Structure 1
Amino acid sequence: MTANLLEFDLDGLAAYCEQLGEKRFRATQLFRWIHQKGASDFAQMSDLAKSLREKLAGSAEVRALQVISEQASADGTIKWLFDVGGGNAVESVFIPEDDRGTLCVSSQAGCAVGCRFCSTGHQGFSRNLSTGEIIAQLWFAEHQLRRRLQLAEGERAITNVVMMGMGEPLQNYSALVPALRMMLDDHGYGLSRRRVTVSTSGVVPMMDRLRSDCPVALAVSLHAPNDPLRDNLVPLNRKYPLHELMAACQRYLEAAPRDFITFEYCMLDGVNDTPELARELVALVRGEHSATRAIGPVSCKLNLIPFNPFPESGLIRSPRERVQAFAKVLQDAGVVTTVRKTRGDDIAAACGQLAGEVQDRTHARERMSRAPIRLQPVSSPRNPGHH
């Protein structure tokens, strides 16, 4: 079977070239051709020895993902649906802004975490993507956009990558880290650690591993300031409750490329959007909450996200006035807070809307339809004796 060279970070590609009897500098040249120039035809790679090009032609390929569809939003957002085989398809979203171009990348076909407000979770879970399938989304988008926008050589279309597409990235750790290294590699996409963000719902052991292996910017899907409510919205909280999550955030800051962690908070009408819960959230990040008193404050930025409704969720978006009142409580307490602008919702490309096509092996739809949604949040700590 031919090797897909998109699967290899630079060290992996050097090891592959060594098997072909080639020196490491050949791997660097090849890596640049693939990632910096977007080449997939070995015959184009003019500074590689002819003998190497012939070896590669017989044993390797740059295997892109097949594009099923492309949709463009009125606000300039572009969404691609990629075929990853076996009846599964994943989505990537490009969000252009005046000072940056951000690509939202998927890490799994579906998601096993099952957050109540996320349509990806309602699709269930099929499988992890490989490193090559993760990086192929960036490879395609970067070089497609460069051609489309007629950018000069060396000019980037994508300046920021967020691992916020389909899936929980830290539950696909072994494929994620080599893909992150390719994004950061100066011979690859040359992105700074501050401009690559991994979003997690709180897989605590993997947060600690990422801090050691490849510390990039971190965003944590928080969505509730106490354990009973978060258990209901983010089921992973039952395994890694808030006191463990906040302690992991504090540890991550020791190696983080930024001096803060972003907390994502999806605003759900009548569920998590009251002033009382805003005050509880202030206490949580300041280390004054019963769950975090032994841990101390976590330097953070709060990102309030308008909920993007879908029928199966049984949830609705918080009214604008309530979002603003919630934000004011946080801002008045000195917590840096932004209300995210919804982008691409007219093509279902906004936060929580990415669904793709998933051959669910987890029966998520049936499980979620049976699980009640507790609309009255409980604010007492779950384990009062723990601290």
Structure 2
Amino acid sequence: EPLYNYDNVAKAMRIVMSGEGIGLSKRRITLSTSGIVPEITRAGADLGVNLAISLHAVRDELRNELVPINRKYPLAELIEACRTYPGLSNARRITWEYVMLDGVNDSDADCAALLKLIRGIPSKLNLIPFNPWPGSPYRCSSDDRIEAFAKKVLKAGYASPVRTPRGRDILAACGQLKSASQRQKGQRTGLGKTRETTAADAT
């Protein structure tokens, strides 16, 4: 979580944006966070870079499970911080990361609630097929369900690209490397079982 290390992340970004550094425009830099609300506001004021939010759920009770920081900064606070993020426009939108979990957050009702939640915020939705691992408590939504979800988002006026999984077949996709390292650790220690990984880890 970069916003738990705000000072160093901000320092690195300033170097990247500096003419004496890489000279990269702030409009080409995106800061991704699970939702550390006070630091989102701070980053908007200090840095003005693009913002991506690991959302994954539109109800607090589910997001508490998938993204535990939600217990401290619930959806209402997160959405308000995003709504007031400086410099938002149709050309400079917030990216919402949304992992597609079969039967968990992928229904038509979930999609409608998502669109209602972000209404009025310049946005795009990045739909992420879940990358399962042996023993994972979730399954990826079907291709048809993801496509139907994406079409509803697009019809509402938001870009809705679907991320292409890479490395899933060898357990090297997002979220799978952690589970592999935990299995190896369990084998070395004779424990055999790994700690449950949240959906946020899988993105």
- Equivalent runs, 1:233-312 vs 2, <5 Å: 233-254=66-87, 259-286=92-119, 297-312=120-135
Q: Does the Cα contact within 8 Å between 2:50 and 2:92 map onto a contact in 1?
A: no
1:181 to 1:262, Cα distance in 2 relative to 1, 3 A: same
What is the CA-CA distance between 1:169 and the residue it aligns to? 0.6
Q: Does the Cα contact within 8 Å between 1:204 and 1:240 map onto a contact in 2?
A: yes
Distance across 2 between alignment mates of 1:298 and 1:354: 34
Are 1:222 and 2:45 counterparts?
A: no
Q: Does the Cα contact within 8 Å between 2:132 and 2:138 map onto a contact in 1?
A: yes
Residue deviations 1:111-156, cap 9 Å, x none?
Answer: xxxxxxxxxxxxxxxxxxxxxxxxxxxxxxxxxxxxxxxxxxxxxx
Are 1:314 and 2:147 counterparts?
A: no
What is the CA-CA distance between 1:310 and the residue it aligns to? 1.7
What is the CA-CA distance between 1:308 and the residue it aligns to? 1.0
1:212 to 1:238, Cα distance in 2 relative to 1, 3 A: same
Are 1:179 and 2:9 counterparts?
A: no
1:212 equivalent in structure 2: 45
- Equivalent runs, 1:124-163 vs 2, <5 Å: none
Q: Does the Cα contact within 8 Å between 1:219 and 1:263 map onto a contact in 2?
A: yes
Q: What RMSD over aligned residues (CA atoms) do the two structures have, in Å? A: 2.7
TM-score, scaled relative to structure 1: 0.45
What is the CA-CA distance between 1:259 and the residue it aligns to? 2.3
Q: Secondary structure at the match of 1:198?
A: strand
Distance across 2 between alignment mates of 1:325 and 1:171: 36
Distance across 2 between alignment mates of 1:196 and 1:307: 25
Residue deviations 1:27-63, cap 9 Å, x none?
Answer: xxxxxxxxxxxxxxxxxxxxxxxxxxxxxxxxxxxxx
Q: Does the Cα contact within 8 Å between 2:88 and 2:122 map onto a contact in 1?
A: no
TM-score, scaled relative to structure 2: 0.82
What is the CA-CA distance between 1:329 and the residue it aligns to? 1.6
Indicate the percent of aligned positions where both proteins have the same amino acid.
48
1:345 to 1:274, Cα distance in 2 relative to 1, 3 A: same
Distance across 2 between alignment mates of 1:215 and 1:258: 14
Distance across 2 between alignment mates of 1:346 and 1:220: 27
1:268 to 1:243, Cα distance in 2 relative to 1, 3 A: same
2:188 equivalent in structure 1: none
Letter in 1 for 2:29: V
What is the CA-CA distance between 1:336 and the residue it aligns to? 2.1
Q: Does the Cα contact within 8 Å between 1:267 and 1:317 map onto a contact in 2?
A: yes
What is the CA-CA distance between 1:354 and the residue it aligns to? 4.7
Stretches of structure 1 that go unaligned for 5 or more consecutive residues are 1-167, 287-296, 360-364, 374-387
Structure (1 or 2) with the larger CA radius of gyration: 1
Are 1:200 and 2:23 counterparts?
A: no
Number of residue pairs aligned between Structure 1 and Structure 2? 188
1:209 to 1:354, Cα distance in 2 relative to 1, 3 A: farther
1:354 to 1:220, Cα distance in 2 relative to 1, 3 A: farther
Are 1:323 and 2:146 counterparts?
A: yes
Q: Does the Cα contact within 8 Å between 1:246 and 1:298 map onto a contact in 2?
A: no
What is the CA-CA distance between 1:254 and the residue it aligns to? 3.4
Distance across 2 between alignment mates of 1:357 and 1:176: 26
Distance across 1 between alignment mates of 2:159 and 2:145: 18
Q: Does the Cα contact within 8 Å between 2:45 and 2:86 map onto a contact in 1?
A: no
What is the CA-CA distance between 1:345 and the residue it aligns to? 3.8
Distance across 1 between alignment mates of 2:91 and 2:27: 6
Q: Does the Cα contact within 8 Å between 1:217 and 1:256 map onto a contact in 2?
A: no
Distance across 2 between alignment mates of 1:348 and 1:196: 29
Distance across 2 between alignment mates of 1:264 and 1:353: 18
Q: Does the Cα contact within 8 Å between 1:253 and 1:260 map onto a contact in 2?
A: no
Residue deviations 1:277-296, cap 9 Å, x none?
Answer: 1111111111xxxxxxxxxx
1:133 equivalent in structure 2: none
Distance across 2 between alignment mates of 1:250 and 1:302: 15
